[in-house]
Amino acid sequence: MKVVSHAALLGVSPGHPADLAGRDPGDRLGLGGKSENLERLDELVARLGVLHNRLWAEAERSLLLVLQGLDASGKDGTIKHVLTGINPQGCRIVSFKAPTPEELAHDYLWRVHSACPERGEVGIFNRSHYEDVVAVRVRKLVPEHVWHTRYHHIREFERLLTDEGTTLVKVFLHISRDEQGKRLQERLDDPEKVWKFQRSDLDDRALWADYQQAYDEALTETSTDWAPWHVVPADHKWVRNMAVAQLLVDALEALDPKLPEPDPSLVDVRIT
């Protein structure tokens, strides 16, 4: 069973509103129940590993997964469960945190561009340059004319990446406020996870409506023909994983990477 027609259900059509309010974070995408999809997820993860191996061997193009979402939407979990079959040698995961003094001394895209995947690699951004049009807006770190101008910068930056051979898969993990509250409480109650909880998480939760508005506009403004957004319902972790895995497999199958031809002199070689 293939996950959804994501052009219709998950995609943000360029030039049209993202309409987060009209999308159900608890949508199961017609997949049925969890248990019957676990095997399918394993198949997708295995297929992803094969396709990545071909991309890595071909070493001509790259793929970049951009993961955005509010706290507890499942960015870490998606990486853990969907990308488990990828060869670490050809995978680059970057988590963007508060800029360092060196990064602040450059333009805001400097650190992002330098972290993009090399040819043959799959790159994963756990948060990304979109923090510079969402978090900075909500927290009022820069004036409106600054973050608003960045929509244009980002569209053209992503056009550059795609023109140079990087396919972008941009995913917004869409979680409900109730489910976020449940997961944050679980973090607080779990000795193995409480370290992830920050006081600022509560501050951001209090700004829920502002974040929804900021993300809605950012996705609307930056979903393009060359780098469209996908809104993945994230209340059910297994649905989230299935959807992201399918998006990555579809993107790599569209690239159709080829293994290099073997050295013809090795045809009759037998190892003794």
1 pLDDT higher than 90:
no
Model confidence band, residue 198 (pLDDT cutoffs 50, 70, 90):
confident
- Residues 6 or more apart whose CB falls under 8 angstroms from that of 249 comprise 44, 47, 48, 51
Model confidence band, residue 5 (pLDDT cutoffs 50, 70, 90):
very low
Q: What is the CATH number of the domain that holds 244?
A: 3.40.50.300
Residue 94 counted as domain residue? yes
Compute the half-sphere exposure of residue 119: CA atoms within 13 Å on the CB side of its CA. 9
Model confidence band, residue 2 (pLDDT cutoffs 50, 70, 90):
low
Helix (H) or strand (E) holding 142: none
Residue 269 counted as domain residue? no
Whole-number pLDDT of residue 6: 52
The answer to whether the beta carbons of residues 175 and 70 sit under 8 Å apart is yes
Q: Which of 7-11, 148-152, 204-208, 239-243 has the lowest mean pLDDT?
A: 7-11
Average pLDDT over residues 217-237: 98
Looking at the 3D structure of the chain, how many domains does it have? 1
Residue 173 counted as domain residue? yes
The Cα 36–Cα 167 span in angstroms is: 31
27: amino acid identity, one letter: D
Q: In which domain, by residue range, is 33 found?
A: 15-257
Indicate the average pLDDT of the chain: 94
Average pLDDT over residues 131-150: 97
What is the distance in angstroms between the CA of the first residue and the CA of the last residue of the chain?
Answer: 45
pLDDT tens profile 7-44: 568 999 999 999 999 999 999 999 988 888 999 999 99
φ, ψ for residue 66, nearest 5 deg: -105, 115
pLDDT tens profile 158-195: 999 999 999 999 999 999 999 999 999 999 999 999 99
